[in-house]
Structure 1
Amino acid sequence: MTQPWTLEDLVKDARGRVTEIAAEELHHGTSRQEMVLLDVREAEETAGGTLEGAVHLPRGLLELRVQEHVARRDTPVVVYCGGGNRSALAADVLLKMGYTRVRSLAGGFERWRRLGLPITGGAGVRPPPGKKLGWDEVRREFAIVARCVPVLGEGERALVYMDHAASTHAPSSVLGAYTEFVAREYANIHRGTHHLSRKATERFEECYGIIARHVGAELQRGTICFTSNTTQAIDLCAHVLAERPGLVVTTEMEHHSNELPHRRRGPTLRARVTDEGELDLGHLEELLRGNRVKLVAVTAGSNVTGVMPDLRRVARLAHEHGALVLVDAAQALARMPIDVRDLDDPEHIDFLAGAGHKAYAPFGAGFLYGPRALLSEVPPYIPGGGTASRVTASGAEYLPAPDRHHGGTPNIAGVVGMARALAFLQAIGMEEVREHEVRLTERMLRGLRELGGITLYGPPDAHKRLGVATFNVDGVSDLLTAAVLSEEGAIAVRNGRFCSHLYMDKLLAARAKAAGGEVPTGAVRASVGLYNDESDVDRLLEYVRRVRDRQWRGRYQVKGDVVSAEFAGRCADQWMEATKD
């Protein structure tokens, strides 16, 4: 009787036919231009990282789906797994299927990692060659879609998160890259000769290029300075231009972060918005003609209405009158294509500020893009370690930008996470992201209008706004509306005035005047993201209808900016802020 084969026997037999490739050769000596890298591990194994450019195809789906990823049988293919055994078996199967140029990575991913070779986030963020990530694949990247939260009278139900305008969740592949860096490559950057410092520096330096590609920037005459958030990035811009003659023009639609940093450094003017919340470009032009203006600071997309000013026209007007342009891209970075354009283009953007936490990255990292020469000629934002090339008893010689403004150790892991999140968005395609958002926003705006008894703020056309809907239910406070949506519908929205008081004052007063009613103190904001779908919008509409019809099930007590919710004698002790963002 023949002895049954073991795994070792199967692997040894396969290796008799399969050619292996060493990690060193794959990294240093092999062109990957036409090669397909197949990661045949299970999905959970990819959380710790993957090889750059790999396509994730679990071993159990190999025979069924390989042709989707490798159409031609003569395409060079390298297969890898955790330790090299499954990849040998998989490569043997591919040879039997007629693929002629297949190799297995010796030692698998573990040996690659032990050698300190570059790894990146999970392979799930990489679409097959020639394809984009599908929305089902995108949704599976987010653990939050399976999160359940308590609701009054029903135990728990799945959370619908519609607060993306405040902060977004990181997909598993981004978290994988982030935790991999913290666990295995954590070290301070620059000036370190040991291996971890070199790898950390390499990871950090890669991030400049990823962010530049996302916003259409070149890094010869332009540069990117890393910050802790968008507010600090805008403040850095204000610092750079503080001694430049002239006024700063902001707009009535700005978030406080694009208003207050400019105020504290000098006089400002403010371009009006219309009653619908759109920028009055005629008034902006008047301000530019009648004043010496050094900077126009404008949002790429409002965090209240999603209104997207015509940045090209704003830039052209500013440059024609000798002013520079700063764009607050906090809301737009993850929602629409951005192109700062070449610095010689009359419609280029001079400065652009953004952050990771609204773009599917962990908290704590932002950036300012701007002209390298301007950023290099002003004093350091915060003088300190890493900003100077030489320090003497009486002075210091400072480095050029961006290091000039990186005082102390930056949030290296946060920057890595932010870059991986933008790479994730690029793998989907920003045009596709925008189409997805417009589709959901149209459904949301149309549904709210059709309900009746709802006051919507901003233009009705979803193509003119980001995926944000701000509204009030007639006769119900924004605080109570948001509480009912949360406590009974498990729907996360935001309420209040959204750190944009000037804009909210204008919008609320204009709509109340038109309706002949009292001016509300705030509003409710629902904002969609990558992993929202039509069912999320429909649940929002259903529970807004319940609020409109006063059909909530709980007993709510509102005291100032606190709501307590009670059902069947049980106090949920839930609250949310009414006026803070």
Structure 2
Amino acid sequence: MVDYRDLIYGNDQKVPTKFGLKPYLNLDNAASTPPFKDVMKLIANECLWYSSIHRGAGYKSKYLTERYEESRRAVTGFINADPNHDVVIFTKNTTDSINKVRHYLPYLPGELVVYTRLEHHSNELPWLNHQNICLELNNNTLDLEQLEKVLKRNHGNIKLLAVTGASNVTGYLPPIYILAEMAHAAGARILVDAAQLAPHRPIWVRPATDPRHLDFLVFSGHKMYAPFGAGVLVGPKWLFNQGDPSQVGGGTVKAVDSEGIYWAEPPEVEEAGSPNVLGALTIAESFKVLHKIGWNELFHHEQQLLEATLTGLKKIPGITVYNEATTQRVGVIGFNVKGIYHQTVGEALAEYGIGVRTGCFCARNYVKHLLNLSHLIYQGTNQRKLPGLVRVSFGCYNNLTDVTYFLDVLEELIKSADRLYG
């Protein structure tokens, strides 16, 4: 197995535990990944030239403006978007990107949005103030037969199909290109939340004439080895020329006078104020590193980690895994230990320098479905004791030694479960 740990900044960092300083084993990559070393080198280099971009007359301003736009062009290429039709807008994060899409999609009477039971709150809450339909699951995968019925019954009235590119709870990969084709056939657009997909798989936005074209694509840098709070929104240029921008301010206008406001063209109209230049540069650099490693290599590496972890978890008594499939998924595993509260498991693992995440991962409706819970249980439960899962999620730098250590510690903790109730 190839070891990518040397690509990661801070991978040898030790953390305090009850046993003293221990190397940190990060198995919480679905929340945020550590940065690539190349990303940190880029930041150090570009900070020497840091300046306010756009309209500056000085060399540094012109230089960084070009680097910013160069990053936009690079991201456009990495996601295989058509620069003549689609525009890459740099945002704060995935949540910000989705809310911008909502702003530009006004709903007429009778129009509705379709979303899925899998969604993170960022791709669920924006649509709940509109007439909506939630797609249910069939054996923990999307029910395409239900979707086909919904699309036929509401043909021409569906504004948007909003779907995750990869579940942040179970790692499940919805068939986004098939979903795009189905949505377009019904006169709808599709939005793909690729926050969990982008660091694991190549993405093809495809030409607008392709039935499998992704109308909107959103993702964040901090989940793909590029910190500093930047995200990406990809969508059709023409849409962002419709009406007022989602946020107004510096850089969003061509001119303003007593007779009116003349809005700038996209992407500028949706990048109000001084942009996060370094954040944009890090996203492009991260894509560069991922492409250099190779998507096939990343896939096979992750498959080894997944299969080893799932096999190991099955051998430990009392563990329930909520997606046991080894295909059509990314390296995110949700599980529970019988009789032990999920947060207690996470805190016990942390004593050994292992970082996981517990709870509902901002996907409460999906977790509620997996645990077969009623709404009343959630409504009446103490917030500190909400039902949830333990989540393990891999980065490209994790290896089989990490998996073995995690499984050994988990098994030992379960054997001495009495201390977990302390």
TM-score of the pair, normalised by structure 2: 0.93
1:508 to 364, 371, 392: 371
What secondary structure, in the 3-state scheme, does the structure 2 residue paired with 1:150 have?
A: strand
1:262 to 105, 108, 127: 127
1:331 to 171, 182, 196: 196
1:442 to 307, 311, 314: 307
In the alignment, the residues of structure 2 paired with residue 375 and residue 550 of structure 1 have an alpha-carbon distance, to the nearest angstrom, of 58
2:159 to 282, 294, 304: 294
Q: Which residue of 1 aligns with 2:331?
A: 467
Once the two structures are TM-superposed, the CA of residue 556 in structure 1 deviates from its matched residue by 6.0
1:528 to 386, 394, 406: 394
The 1:371/1:409 distance shift into structure 2, 3 A limit, reads same
Q: Where in structure 2 are there 5+ consecutive unaligned residues?
A: 374-384
What secondary structure, in the 3-state scheme, does the structure 1 residue paired with 2:372 have?
A: helix
The 1:178/1:556 distance shift into structure 2, 3 A limit, reads farther
Q: Which residue of 1 aligns with 2:376?
A: none
Mapping for residues 49-448 of structure 1, pairs under 5 Å: 135-136=2-3, 138-152=4-18, 154-182=19-47, 184-243=48-107, 246-264=111-129, 266-274=130-138, 276-291=139-154, 292-448=157-313
Identity of aligned residues (%): 38
Query: What one-letter code is carried by the residue in structure 1 that aligns with 2:294?
Result: G
What secondary structure, in the 3-state scheme, does the structure 2 residue paired with 1:352 have?
A: strand
What secondary structure, in the 3-state scheme, does the structure 1 residue paired with 2:11 have?
A: helix
Query: What one-letter code is carried by the residue in structure 2 that aligns with 1:200?
Result: L
Deviations along 1:380-414, whole A, 9 cap, x unmatched? 11121111111112311111211111111111111
Once the two structures are TM-superposed, the CA of residue 357 in structure 1 deviates from its matched residue by 0.2
TM-score of the pair, normalised by structure 1: 0.68
Q: Where in structure 1 are there 5+ consecutive unaligned residues?
A: 1-133, 511-518, 558-581
Query: What one-letter code is carried by the residue in structure 1 that aligns with 2:211?
Result: P
Deviations along 1:417-452, whole A, 9 cap, x unmatched? 121111111111122212211211111111101223
In the alignment, the residues of structure 2 paired with residue 306 and residue 198 of structure 1 have an alpha-carbon distance, to the nearest angstrom, of 42
What secondary structure, in the 3-state scheme, does the structure 1 residue paired with 2:217 have?
A: strand
Q: Which residue of 2 aligns with 1:47?
A: none
The 1:448/1:525 distance shift into structure 2, 3 A limit, reads same
In the alignment, the residues of structure 2 paired with residue 378 and residue 416 of structure 1 have an alpha-carbon distance, to the nearest angstrom, of 29
What secondary structure, in the 3-state scheme, does the structure 1 residue paired with 2:222 have?
A: coil
Query: What one-letter code is carried by the residue in structure 1 that aligns with 2:338?
Result: D
The answer (yes or no) to whether the contact 1:508–1:520 under 8 Å persists in 2 is no
Which structure has more relative contact order (CA 8 Å, sep 6+)? It is 2
In the alignment, the residues of structure 1 paired with residue 335 and residue 306 of structure 2 have an alpha-carbon distance, to the nearest angstrom, of 13
Q: Which residue of 1 aligns with 2:381?
A: none
Once the two structures are TM-superposed, the CA of residue 149 in structure 1 deviates from its matched residue by 1.7
The answer (yes or no) to whether the contact 2:9–2:40 under 8 Å persists in 1 is no
In the alignment, the residues of structure 1 paired with residue 184 and residue 333 of structure 2 have an alpha-carbon distance, to the nearest angstrom, of 33
The worse-fitting range, judged by mean Cα deviation, of 541-550 and 215-224 is 541-550
Deviations along 1:60-118, whole A, 9 cap, x unmatched? xxxxxxxxxxxxxxxxxxxxxxxxxxxxxxxxxxxxxxxxxxxxxxxxxxxxxxxxxxx
Once the two structures are TM-superposed, the CA of residue 544 in structure 1 deviates from its matched residue by 1.5
In the alignment, the residues of structure 2 paired with residue 227 and residue 263 of structure 1 have an alpha-carbon distance, to the nearest angstrom, of 22
In the alignment, the residues of structure 2 paired with residue 168 and residue 556 of structure 1 have an alpha-carbon distance, to the nearest angstrom, of 31
Does residue 491 of structure 1 match 2:354? yes
In the alignment, the residues of structure 2 paired with residue 341 and residue 315 of structure 1 have an alpha-carbon distance, to the nearest angstrom, of 11
Aligned length: 409
Once the two structures are TM-superposed, the CA of residue 214 in structure 1 deviates from its matched residue by 2.0
The answer (yes or no) to whether the contact 1:226–1:366 under 8 Å persists in 2 is yes
Larger radius of gyration: 1
The answer (yes or no) to whether the contact 1:337–1:431 under 8 Å persists in 2 is no
In the alignment, the residues of structure 2 paired with residue 369 and residue 286 of structure 1 have an alpha-carbon distance, to the nearest angstrom, of 29
The answer (yes or no) to whether the contact 1:178–1:414 under 8 Å persists in 2 is no
Q: Which residue of 1 aligns with 2:379?
A: none
The 1:492/1:135 distance shift into structure 2, 3 A limit, reads same
In the alignment, the residues of structure 2 paired with residue 322 and residue 520 of structure 1 have an alpha-carbon distance, to the nearest angstrom, of 40
What secondary structure, in the 3-state scheme, does the structure 2 residue paired with 1:178 have?
A: helix
In the alignment, the residues of structure 2 paired with residue 520 and residue 367 of structure 1 have an alpha-carbon distance, to the nearest angstrom, of 32
The 1:556/1:151 distance shift into structure 2, 3 A limit, reads farther
What secondary structure, in the 3-state scheme, does the structure 2 residue paired with 1:314 have?
A: helix
Once the two structures are TM-superposed, the CA of residue 144 in structure 1 deviates from its matched residue by 2.7
Once the two structures are TM-superposed, the CA of residue 288 in structure 1 deviates from its matched residue by 1.4
Query: What one-letter code is carried by the residue in structure 1 that aligns with 2:365?
Result: L
In the alignment, the residues of structure 1 paired with residue 159 and residue 116 of structure 2 have an alpha-carbon distance, to the nearest angstrom, of 15
In the alignment, the residues of structure 1 paired with residue 287 and residue 87 of structure 2 have an alpha-carbon distance, to the nearest angstrom, of 17
The answer (yes or no) to whether the contact 2:72–2:280 under 8 Å persists in 1 is no
The 1:528/1:391 distance shift into structure 2, 3 A limit, reads same
In the alignment, the residues of structure 1 paired with residue 106 and residue 307 of structure 2 have an alpha-carbon distance, to the nearest angstrom, of 42
The answer (yes or no) to whether the contact 1:326–1:349 under 8 Å persists in 2 is yes
The answer (yes or no) to whether the contact 2:340–2:420 under 8 Å persists in 1 is no
In the alignment, the residues of structure 2 paired with residue 273 and residue 555 of structure 1 have an alpha-carbon distance, to the nearest angstrom, of 34
* Moved >3 Å (runs of 4+): 554-557
In the alignment, the residues of structure 1 paired with residue 84 and residue 78 of structure 2 have an alpha-carbon distance, to the nearest angstrom, of 16
In the alignment, the residues of structure 1 paired with residue 128 and residue 259 of structure 2 have an alpha-carbon distance, to the nearest angstrom, of 33
In the alignment, the residues of structure 2 paired with residue 281 and residue 500 of structure 1 have an alpha-carbon distance, to the nearest angstrom, of 21
Once the two structures are TM-superposed, the CA of residue 304 in structure 1 deviates from its matched residue by 0.2
What secondary structure, in the 3-state scheme, does the structure 2 residue paired with 1:144 have?
A: coil
The answer (yes or no) to whether the contact 2:28–2:356 under 8 Å persists in 1 is yes
The 1:310/1:555 distance shift into structure 2, 3 A limit, reads closer
In the alignment, the residues of structure 2 paired with residue 555 and residue 280 of structure 1 have an alpha-carbon distance, to the nearest angstrom, of 39
The answer (yes or no) to whether the contact 1:235–1:262 under 8 Å persists in 2 is no
Query: What one-letter code is carried by the residue in structure 2 that aligns with 1:434?
Result: F
